[in-house]
């Protein structure tokens, strides 16, 4: 999520171009075309990888938060509904070591978090400093979702 002092705003033009490439690619494909893509990764440009997913949403208590060091995540709902949550790391306890090969580290639930509902064609962007948890059930009911996790390289 973006939250910062205006005077600190700095954005690498290469990263902005990668985000734009991903969003433009997604918006130029119909839901039917996106649903017909095979589950798994698809590279669409240098530093832009789509990861097509199909899964059932789950209860918040069963979720871990995660963060990354080398990429930005764009969670893009193709079809379905889920809550995504985010927080600043603050003093949240890590529940795993950082895995450099997968570029991921897991954390316990933070004391405070934000929450947004992703439905068809909505997205949320999470930066390396954001703890985030996805796949959250809506209204206590599990739903089958088709989503993309877009990996934007920051190096």
pLDDT value at residue 155 = 86
Tokens of 62: 């069963």
For residue 93, which phi and psi values (nearest 5 degrees)? -80, 130
Is 66 exposed, middle or buried (CB count within 10 Å of its CB: 0-12, 13-18, 19+)?
A: buried
| Among 76, 17, 6, 67, residue whose Cα is nearest residue 42 | 76
Tens digit of pLDDT for each residue in 30-50? 999 999 999 999 999 999 999
Residues above pLDDT 90, as percent of the chain: 86
pLDDT value at residue 5 = 46
Given a cut of 70, the residues of the chain with pLDDT beneath it are 1-11
Domains with residue ranges and CATH for the chain? 6-153 (2.60.120.370)
Tokens of 39: 């589950």
pLDDT value at residue 149 = 97
pLDDT value at residue 13 = 86
| Among 135, 138, 124, 28, residue whose Cα is nearest residue 75 | 124
Tens digit of pLDDT for each residue in 116-135? 999 999 999 999 889 999 99
């Amino acid at each position: 999520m973006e939250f910062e002092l205006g005077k600190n705003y700095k954005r690498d033009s290469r990263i902005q171009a990668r985000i734009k490439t991903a969003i433009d690619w997604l918006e130029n494909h119909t839901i039917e075309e996106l649903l017909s893509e095979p589950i798994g990764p698809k590279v669409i440009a240098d530093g832009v990888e789509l990861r097509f997913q199909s899964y059932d949403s789950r209860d918040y208590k069963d979720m871990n938060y995660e963060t990354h060091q080398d990429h930005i995540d764009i969670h893009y709902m193709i079809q379905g509904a889920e809550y995504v949550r985010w927080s600043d790391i603050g003093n949240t306890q890590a529940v795993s070591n950082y895995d450099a090969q997968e570029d991921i580290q897991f954390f316990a639930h933070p004391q405070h978090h934000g929450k947004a509902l992703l439905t068809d064609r909505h997205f949320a962007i999470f930066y390396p400093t954001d703890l985030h948890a996805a796949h959250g059930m809506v209204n206590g009911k599990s739903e089958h979702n088709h989503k993309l996790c877009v990996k934007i390289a920051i190096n």
